[in-house]
Structure 1
Amino acid sequence: MDEKDWRILQMVYEERNITKAAEQLYISQPSLTYRIQQLEQELGVKILSRRKRGVDFTVEGEYLVQYAISMLHRLNELKDYLANLNGKIKGTLRLGVSQTYARYKLPVILSEFLSEYPEVDIKLKSGFSYEVIQMINKEETNIGIVRDTYDWKGPKILLDKEKIYIVSKEEIELSDLPNLRRIHYNTDLSLKNVIDTWWKGTFEAPPKITMEVDLIDTCREMVENGLGYAFLPEICLKGYEHLKKYELTLEGQQLVRNTWLIFNEHSLDLSVVKAFIKFMKNDDCI
């Protein structure tokens, strides 16, 4: 078995479908199937059990996948270590980033970082904050940038605080919100909880949600076209100063959205990780 085999097993395990895994790996489905059959012959065990719409792993296959994932982690650690031996800032920086932060702030940050450290390669995954924390826990990434830390117990650095607004195209009376059209978008559970807590502490009636969309950008565009109001964080409102904004407060306390940089302590062994953390601490780039 080699690195290619480890990646095949990992991808099939993630997709639970031979055709989809082959597409992700840019190889043909027959080639992938043949290689798994070869592995089964070499190891003398059955790895996969086929079902109507995909595959399941046998007990032996599950063990083999965990071995493959472990070996890929060790290989990444080896590559990172060797890249750091000469003291230069080089190698691969694996980032897991909240999708909202990745959309609105990360492109400029990475551009400036790579201008300063051109020998660094970036491996980036974005998702909801809880998904980023899972990436860190599984050591799929060196550093995470999350909108909330949930139950993260490791080191963390506060990058930013931003206000949460009620946003509409025209002026509205906040007391009328239960009767006005609200646009809801899919977001982290933590922000949803903040908004729900504010609502329950302010109104007895439920909100009148008339639209549910998947993306924050879609939600904002609906608001801009006068289709309703929404609860939006400050990060997505640059350039939309014409919209009416009302700060979200509860019992005189301003409600904010925090952005954190998180990492495991042992990641600091990598010079590329230390360089990125130092770079992010610079207020000019945050």
Structure 2
Amino acid sequence: MEQNLSLYRIFFEVAQTGNISRAAKNLYISQPAISKAISKLEDNLNLPLFIRNSRGVQLTEEGAILFEHVRAAFETLDRGEDELKRMTELGVGHIRIGVSTVLCKYVLLPCLKEFVARFPHVKFTIRSQSTLQTLELLEHQQIDLGLTAETPYKKNITFDKVMDIEDGFVATPAYLTNMRLREGAAQSDVFRNGTILMLEKGNVSRTYIEDYFREQHIEPAHLLEASTMDLLIDFARIGLGAGCVIKNFVKDELQNGTFLEIPMNPPIPKRSIGFVFNSQPVHSKALNMFIKFYRHYYQKP
């Protein structure tokens, strides 16, 4: 917009009051300054905007058209100011997060529950997807941050660790007993004689375990794949095989005897999970609030 915004503010006030002197009083400027501003705007547009009469001024047809647009523009600006005021006073904001189903359920949701209780006016969009999809969305700034297992990142991505996780294989006591009766195999022979439950290929967790298998020369005889960790845990729970799980998320089952852990020698190395976000863009107030909150939350014992 080439015209000075102040000219439109003066035009708007004169149109509303229909009187130059009242407009000057409302705007705390002189009548000559009002008249000069209106004349300048008319010269810029090369159109008459007002008809002068004994009672004041009246909009021309062209002026009436411009007034509707100016009024709409100022109403939009007022709404914008009101929204910013509410954001400041209430902590209103919008945060877009990308996260896998399992990390969302076991890691993100407990944190979000406490955050929303403290900041109920922040809106969230949660995109449930793989780590690779999360990083792609983050690169194109279609999400504000992601929650992923640590993996090689591009230079402009910051990884903010929140905890370590430990992978392992678990099975029900009944499954291991039946395997021993059926195959005459010990628990340690589960990879040669049992069914191994794993996430589908392409998943970051699956790739991590495959790397471990290669290093230890382990070749499972029979694989059954699941699309999500929750489904994989359910498969193991009903005795379909020995599932590759994140042990942090089946602590209760290991403690109450629902699952038994398959000994791994050497143990599968721990890995880290954390939030990832773009290092370059200026973060919104809501996002900065959430970053500060989760850093404190995950430091809790």
Is the contact made by 1:186 and 1:216 (CA closer than 8 Å) also made in structure 2? no
- CA drift of 1:119 comes to 1.6
**Does structure 1 residue 133 correspond to structure 2 residue 147?**
no
**Does structure 1 residue 232 correspond to structure 2 residue 234?**
no
TM-score computed with the length of structure 1 as normaliser: 0.63
* SS state at 2:291 partner: helix
Q: 1:152 is aligned with what amino acid?
A: K
Query: How many positions carry a matched residue from both structures?
Result: 205
Identify the residue that residue 185 of structure 1 maps to in structure 2: 199
Q: 2:119 is aligned with what amino acid?
A: Y
Identify the residue that residue 110 of structure 2 maps to in structure 1: 108
Identify the residue that residue 68 of structure 1 maps to in structure 2: none
Q: 2:261 is aligned with what amino acid?
A: K
Distance in 2, matches of 1:88 and 1:275, equals 13
Is the contact made by 1:95 and 1:144 (CA closer than 8 Å) also made in structure 2? yes
Is the contact made by 1:84 and 1:270 (CA closer than 8 Å) also made in structure 2? no
| Alignment map for 1:111-190 (pairs within 5 Å) | 111-153=113-155, 154-170=157-173, 173-186=187-200, 189-190=203-204
Distance in 2, matches of 1:245 and 1:100, equals 20
Distance 1:235 1:135, change over 3 A: farther
Unaligned runs of 5+ in 1: 1-77
The one of 241, 257, 261 equivalent to 1:245 is 261
TM-score computed with the length of structure 2 as normaliser: 0.60
Is the contact made by 2:232 and 2:243 (CA closer than 8 Å) also made in structure 1? yes
Q: 2:100 is aligned with what amino acid?
A: S
Is the contact made by 1:248 and 1:255 (CA closer than 8 Å) also made in structure 2? no
Identify the residue that residue 49 of structure 1 maps to in structure 2: none
Distance in 2, matches of 1:201 and 1:249, equals 12
Unaligned runs of 5+ in 2: 1-79, 177-185
Calculate percent identity across the aligned residue pairs: 17
- CA drift of 1:175 comes to 4.3
* SS state at 1:151 partner: coil
The structure with the larger Rg is 2
Is the contact made by 2:100 and 2:131 (CA closer than 8 Å) also made in structure 1? yes
Identify the residue that residue 222 of structure 2 maps to in structure 1: 209
Distance 1:218 1:269, change over 3 A: closer
Is the contact made by 1:92 and 1:272 (CA closer than 8 Å) also made in structure 2? yes
Identify the residue that residue 273 of structure 1 maps to in structure 2: 287
The runs of 4+ residues in structure 1 deviating greater than 6 Å are none
The one of 238, 241, 258 equivalent to 2:272 is 258
* SS state at 2:162 partner: strand
Question: Cα deviation per residue 1:61-120 (whole Å; 9 max; x = unaligned)?
Answer: xxxxxxxxxxxxxxxxx99x9479747632111111222211223222212111111121
